[in-house]
Structure 1
């Protein structure tokens, strides 16, 4: 699902589980399927089929692409970590502070 970010560009909605797959790609760069499975399993004890499902969802959403390199499929993230984090902050600010990032920042910097 694409939703607009604060800057107006489309934001790809990514679940927490899908973000684990993206995090593996951000950490290690383009990976083969086997290497991606191994990298995700360092953080989550998921079955291979679960990781494959998450990868397929990310590809369908346009967040990951598959490229044949040296005879092997390698998976590349199409959104960078900074863009993802910015989108998550925008979504949180929208949900809790009517889109006001400054209000979110002020809340985070105040002491209880």
Structure 2
């Protein structure tokens, strides 16, 4: 499998991912977005990654396809580790953002 020079869905997804992350970082630093943004962003980005890698039919970039993209399988293993680490990080981000949102909407505990 050779890399193609034309623009493809992967290129567009990278622009979307970096746009969401960069906007979130900038707006968080400025105090404009909080946990709700990061919860939505983590859900959207995880859904995008899952769709592209597992639910995109014949065009899915499954772990098998990722491994076959490299001449040496030892080079495909780090790519799979990155994919699953990314999905795990997005799940953790979603969980933490949800925890912050739920805590914010609970009445304070009085001693």
Higher relative contact order (CA 8 A, sep 6+): 2
**When the two structures are superposed, what TM-score results if normalisation uses the length of structure 2?**
0.28
Task: Name the larger-Rg structure.
Answer: 2
- The structure with the greater share of residues assigned to helix is 2
